[in-house]
Structure 1
């Protein structure tokens, strides 16, 4: 009886160990590459600070609006430092929100931590891939808290329905994105306002909105990561200017 019980415990232990290993493997994020880690360093006109799960990028001046950025699913948040740094250099305080288990679905309301820290400032919210989906959900529930929503290689689901929100929305994709489901992307237009701005970066792909290397299923980009970051931030800046030019914003 004792040997049988010990054998049973051994089987249970092995099963638990295998489950833990499987979960750890599944939740192992894409990690920021060297370019991302260089962009995480303060200097050359940008201050980078990590405070309670937020990575804050500030330039010499703060021009409205600020930017709240939700990372893609299973992507290390530092991977978006190159874009955040470029935005900060142009005067837009940019805050990358770290998510539990690197999944934005576990921290949809974490934008509140940013807004509480800067109660008198105007912010737009958005993100990459899954991060954009969850940013849309936040904005759909709290349209009064943000000035607009941007979606990078992303689209809203029904819980992130922004159709009647009155918020300006930017939908930006790479023309060679091999990860995003194009059929679902088109269907999701029903959840976006009629005045949504749809743009594409020629030659850009899914992963190069961040800086974490190649992503499974993606198509190779025909432009450099630096080019895609520059184009992304330029388009975001132009869109944000139009957001502030809207009466009442």
Structure 2
């Protein structure tokens, strides 16, 4: 190989390495914290199993209907939502966390199909997500409300866009937001209300922030919460439970 051509190939190789390193840094996910890892062990009447791209939290006895299916927030590892999922399962509802490619729901918007497609009759699910996960969950629900057993949609620090409009869907909707959340763009949050049905239930968790819907520690741009993470998980689970019980 001629020296000039060799230098060109070396330069390209260096650029590719730098680009890969930059991408890896930018896409570095938020890992589950200690409380989330503990919840991933199950117990307290909840069993856990991972099947392919799903993490399933099973309650003791017959699971209540509807179950709960959750899309994680952007760059948040799915295990981070184990504390919330475990609380929902402890209340009697099967809770399923969907794993996403590169921890980005926008790359796997239809992954709910891994569980919902071809599901035996008799089971229904509310589907929702945290932050970007909620946006993509609403798109899934809007596209599949007629051919999937979807009983409602919930948003955790999130809102729909025009592609996920639920305004005319006839589906029950729950929107939860922490009062100390400074990650959600409130202008976009308010604009997103036009894509929600008139009967949407809006709940603000006093003292809650963006990151504490999951268990992965502080998030860049967020404000500190004024309540413990365990309390925010408990309040979130209680609101979802109360709403889901009436969404069948």
TM-score > 0.5, shorter chain as reference:
yes
Offset at residue 112 of structure 1 (A): 1.2
Q: The residue matched to 2:112 in structure 1 has which SS?
A: helix
Match of 1:97 in 2: 98
**1:73 touches 1:104 (CA, 8 Å); kept in 2?**
yes
Offset at residue 44 of structure 1 (A): 2.1
Partners of 2:44 and 2:151 in 1: CA distance: 29
Match of 1:124 in 2: 126
Partners of 1:119 and 1:33 in 2: CA distance: 35
1:201 aligns with 2:202: no
Q: The residue matched to 2:17 in structure 1 has which SS?
A: helix
Offset at residue 116 of structure 1 (A): 3.5
Match of 2:174 in 1: 170
Match of 2:88 in 1: 87
Offset at residue 212 of structure 1 (A): 0.2
Q: Do the aligned partners of residues 90 and 118 (structure 1) sit closer, same or farther apart at CA in structure 2, a change above 3 Å counting?
A: farther
Match of 2:50 in 1: 50
| Aligned pairs, number | 244
Q: The residue matched to 1:162 in structure 2 has which SS?
A: coil
Q: Which moved more, 1:140-149 or 1:124-133?
A: 140-149
CA deviations over 1:66-112 (Å, ceiling 9, x no partner): 11100000000000000000000011001100001100011111111
Q: The residue matched to 1:80 in structure 2 has which SS?
A: helix
Offset at residue 117 of structure 1 (A): 6.6
Which stretches of structure 1, 4 residues or more, deviate above 3 A after TM superposition? none
Match of 2:24 in 1: 24
Match of 1:59 in 2: 59
Q: The residue matched to 1:243 in structure 2 has which SS?
A: coil
**2:42 touches 2:86 (CA, 8 Å); kept in 1?**
no
Match of 1:134 among 125, 133, 136: 136
RMSD: 1.0
Match of 1:39 in 2: 39
1:15 aligns with 2:15: yes
Partners of 1:42 and 1:189 in 2: CA distance: 36
Partners of 2:117 and 2:140 in 1: CA distance: 15
Partners of 1:86 and 1:224 in 2: CA distance: 15
Partners of 2:80 and 2:118 in 1: CA distance: 23
Q: TM (normalized to structure 1)?
A: 0.96
**1:129 touches 1:154 (CA, 8 Å); kept in 2?**
yes
Structure 1: state its 5+ residue gaps.
245-249
Structure 2: state its 5+ residue gaps.
none
Q: Which moved more, 1:1-10 or 1:38-47?
A: 1-10
